[in-house]
């Protein structure tokens, strides 16, 4: 088949679309990628507030789903954590490929980690989940709302708008050589044995930099991955690190073609995490972490100020579906007071 993929226009979104397109070509299909500008792309402003009648996640998929219905694209590639917990019945997630690193990472220009950041350090994030969980460990941390694509956020960090950034590991990793370059350290350096040692650069075009040395960032502007958070420290967002391939539910031929990319263990994990989030009210504005790995679903709900937290860790029962596991975990968190913690957001 010839398959038209719809994607947002950011470097990360295009990497994801090209990644799926490459796998489809391996299956014998031809592909093309069509860039679609979404409401969310138009609203990358720190002062933007999502209208009460629109799911914050929906702003990144509305126009793409309209293209699916209009049959101007055959499939859409999303970061799964950007999707609402319930998909419109007119669409289906035809494939959830193997998941990348689901963890969060800390990036900073100095050799620091969360526990060694200076008192009152400024951390760049807009995520209520990350803020709440960071405050549980470091109540002195101040937060700076930094929006935009990964490269934009890295440039803002380089410019000193914050002391550190917290981002999804998968997004940074997926951009690979476009943002990361291996660094050879002096043997006397305390991090010498770290492998691989990667530097995040704020320019994507290495060849351009070689041709135009003046285009280099000023000294001290390099951004580094300093810490990959253990999920017990920062529990990831439901679906983080996973991709979703969305198709018009009426397009059976495309569904059949795309479903060959589905990875059953990843789908189980994601469906359990999303069922838990849905059971707690859904939405990316909730300080909820959920991560299925090593045979159990771990989740946490944290008060906005980080002072209180409820947690659970459940293994699936015999014959239990992913949705049932997620619902059971949500019920346990609610029994422990999760709704009261979430009510503090009101």
Bond preceding residue 189 cis, omega within 30 of 0: no
The answer to whether 119 is a known catalytic residue is no
**CA–CA distance, 338 with 346 (Å, rounded to integer):** 14
Residue 40 · residue 60 · CB < 8 Å: yes
Q: Which of 45, 55, 74, 82 is catalytic?
A: 82
- Judging by DSSP bridges, how do beta strands 164-168 and 288-293 pair with one another? unpaired
**Beta bridge partners of residue 228, listed in sequence order:** 105
Query: CA 28: distance to chain centroid?
Result: 30
Beta-carbon contacts of 79 under 8 Å, excluding residues fewer than 6 positions away, are 12, 13, 16, 171, 239, 242, 243, 244
Task: Encode the chain in three state secondary structure.
Answer: CEEEEEECCCHHHHHHHHHHHHHHHHCCCEEEEEECCCHHHHCCCCCCCCCCCCCCCHHHCHHHHHHHHCCCCCEEEEEHHHCCCCCCCCEEEEECCCCCCCCEEEEECCCCCHHHCCCCCEEECCCHHHHHHHHHHCCCCEEECCCCCHHHHHHHHHCCCCCEEEEEHHHHHHHHHHCEEECCCCCCCCCCCCCCCEEECCCCCHHHHHHCHHHCCCCCCCEEEEEECCCCCCCCCCCCCCEEEEEECCCHHHHHHHHHHCCHHHHHHHHHHHHHHHHCCCCCCCCEEEEEECCEEEEEEECCCCCCEEEEEECCCCCCCHHHHHHHHHHHHHHCCHHHHHHCCC
Residues with a known catalytic role: 82
């Amino acid at each position: 088949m010839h398959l038209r993929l719809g994607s947002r226009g950011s470097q990360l979104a295009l990497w994801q679309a090209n990644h799926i397109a490459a796998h489809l070509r391996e299956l014998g299909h031809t592909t093309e990628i069509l860039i679609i500008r979404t409401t969310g792309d138009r609203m990358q402003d720190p002062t933007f507030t999502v209208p009460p009648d629109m799911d914050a996640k929906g702003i990144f998929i509305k126009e793409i789903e309209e293209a699916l219905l209009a049959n101007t694209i055959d499939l859409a590639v999303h970061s799964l954590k950007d999707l609402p917990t319930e998909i419109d019945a007119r669409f289906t997630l035809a494939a959830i490929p193997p998941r990348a690193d689901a963890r969060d990472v800390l990036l900073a220009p100095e050799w620091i980690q969360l526990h060694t950041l200076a008192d009152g350090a400024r951390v760049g994030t807009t995520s209520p989940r990350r803020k709440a969980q960071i405050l549980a460990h470091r109540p002195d941390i101040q937060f700076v709302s930094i929006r935009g694509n990964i490269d934009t956020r890295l440039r803002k960090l380089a410019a000193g708008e914050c002391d550190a950034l917290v981002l999804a590991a998968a997004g940074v990793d997926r951009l690979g050589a476009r943002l990361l370059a291996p660094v050879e350290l002096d043997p006397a350096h305390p991090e010498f044995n770290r492998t691989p040692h990667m530097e995040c650069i704020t320019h994507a075009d290495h060849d351009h930099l070689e041709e135009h040395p003046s285009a280099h960032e000023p000294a001290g502007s390099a951004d580094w991955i300093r810490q990959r958070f253990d999920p017990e420290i920062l529990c990831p967002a439901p679906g983080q690190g996973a991709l979703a391939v969305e198709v018009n539910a009426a397009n059976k031929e495309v569904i059949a073609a795309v479903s060959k990319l589905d990875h059953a263990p990843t789908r189980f994990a994601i469906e359990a995490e999303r069922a838990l989030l849905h059971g707690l009210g859904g939405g990316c504005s909730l300080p909820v972490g959920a991560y299925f790995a090593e045979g159990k679903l771990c989740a946490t709900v944290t008060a906005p100020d980080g002072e209180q937290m409820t947690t659970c860790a459940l293994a699936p029962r015999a014959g239990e579906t992913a949705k049932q596991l997620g619902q059971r975990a949500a019920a346990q968190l609610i029994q422990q007071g999760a709704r009261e913690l979430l009510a503090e957001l009101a």
